[in-house]
Structure 1
């Protein structure tokens, strides 16, 4: 039994019932053994009243003091992790892999335990999957094959597809990076892919294969939040989102302006256009803003 699992079982015995307040109370213990950066942290967010924010996406989530756990305690429903295939492990890291941090220990195991404690969902009372966006930095198809072997061992925690029929789980794992816009042709699969915004679906693909489409902000827009967004660029933003939504896909932009003086102007335009995943490194700030402005 891993140290992560041991910490969970001890807390869960004390916190029978599986209420979300209990799950968040146990998050500090899970985080305390999740990796070097999380080793000396403890929760400061109250364990009650967490509202899931369905547009909130934690960019490079693993760079926060408590990977995954900080995002969940702020109500985020989409988190991003960069992985590198090393042997039979997927290591976490941005520019290079960190041998002390694995996708399994920082994300897969904690998500499974939180869902188990909360009646099968990450946020109890909200029967809707959260997204784990995995940016594959190395390994490509081999990294995906490893995940296809690993995810079924978590029971129904992760969304799966059987002969084209989706079986929602607590978490939908979407692959980006080297597996972006790739379609896995298999009767049973446990991963989906991140498509590319503004491009046609690959031959034979459906929105179930690529439920999310993404693009860098600067590849489509020159506006960075200073002054009003030019009407032509706003129209393009709305058109791109509408096109994706018509195909049944959600939309995300990466590298959106995220500095203190500009980000809220950009967030307002993203929200008005119906962008599904608003990208940020600033968890508390986006949470506060969405609670005030997102009535959807």
Structure 2
């Protein structure tokens, strides 16, 4: 399939990722326990594949969650934001799955050596959900020791937890599986559903559809209480919370929103600015 991409400069990048993925044994990033290099589990790299070095830039900034958008093209899962950007060299395997498998092997079974907690790989399905998920499931099965797995009523934690977002039709085939290597990204409406955290471990929603405040002036008390109520309800069910469409331009407004998200206990802060969120979270460590 001939495809035109505006990122041709990155063609072939995926083929080199595994070779450069594992940091030198003596480097700071090789060991998440070293001072100043502890993983930032609340940091989520929105549209991570848009960075010059997909996955690797987020890991160098110690992020605990990364996001990849996928399109099903034939039997390939191509990573891009828009159809015109599809490039057959930029597959989910080349940009994410193979590099993660190599890093986990190099780091004694975990993405961050010494930190026995899974990295979240949020996979946003851009094509029809059911068929894309079934192909994705076949791809994930090729990495039997990489992913957190749900099997016959129990969750077995692995070095990477795949969470499926995007086209909601993926939910039906996922719910039918007795064994899964992925979990479902819920919405606020799922807080009132019977879906357990073993299926919906993450609740994500659009900030601007639920709150009017964008960081300018005081956070309205009613909205602060609403935010904290959402987090409390999710945490009571064993679920994590993320909002997208929060302010992301560097400045006081963004920092104000991030501060309120932290104070409320929101689990993942969404950003395109890896260095900015890293610096913010380092400055606000409790």
TM class by smaller structure: 0.7 to 0.9
Map of 1:257-296 to 2, 5 A cutoff?
A: 257-261=247-251, 262-295=253-286
Do residues 243 (structure 1) and 249 (structure 2) align?
A: no
Report the CA distance between 1:152 and its aligned residue.
Answer: 2.3
- The residue number in structure 2 matching 1:120 is 109
Please, which of 133, 145, 150 is the counterpart of residue 144 of structure 1? Answer: 133
Report the CA distance between 1:188 and its aligned residue.
Answer: 1.0
Report the TM-score when normalising by structure 2: 0.86
Alignment check: 8 A CA contact 1:181 1:195 kept? no
Report the TM-score when normalising by structure 1: 0.83
- The residue number in structure 1 matching 2:73 is 86
Give the count of matched residue pairs: 268
Report the CA distance between 1:89 and its aligned residue.
Answer: 0.8
Task: Specify every segment of 5 or more residues in structure 1 that has no aligned partner in the other structure, as ranges.
Answer: 26-46
Please, which of 24, 27, 30 is the counterpart of residue 21 of structure 1? Answer: 27
Give the 3-state SS of the residue equivalent to 1:80 in structure 2. strand
Give the 3-state SS of the residue equivalent to 1:228 in structure 2. coil
Do residues 221 (structure 1) and 211 (structure 2) align?
A: yes
Write the distance in 2 (CA, Å) between the matches of 1:55 and 1:167.
Answer: 21
Write the distance in 1 (CA, Å) between the matches of 2:153 and 2:91.
Answer: 30
Report the CA distance between 1:243 and its aligned residue.
Answer: 0.6
Map of 1:23-62 to 2, 5 A cutoff?
A: 50-62=37-49
Task: Specify every segment of 5 or more residues in structure 2 that has no aligned partner in the other structure, as ranges.
Answer: 1-11
Map of 1:74-113 to 2, 5 A cutoff?
A: 74-96=61-83, 97-99=85-87, 100-113=89-102
Query: Quick one: structure 1 residues 178 and 20, their matched pair in 2 at CA, closer, same or farther if it must change by over 3 Å?
Result: farther
Alignment check: 8 A CA contact 2:29 2:37 kept? no
Query: Quick one: structure 1 residues 144 and 282, their matched pair in 2 at CA, closer, same or farther if it must change by over 3 Å?
Result: same
Give the 3-state SS of the residue equivalent to 2:69 in structure 1. strand
Query: Quick one: structure 1 residues 159 and 5, their matched pair in 2 at CA, closer, same or farther if it must change by over 3 Å?
Result: farther
Give the 3-state SS of the residue equivalent to 1:154 in structure 2. coil
RMSD: 2.6
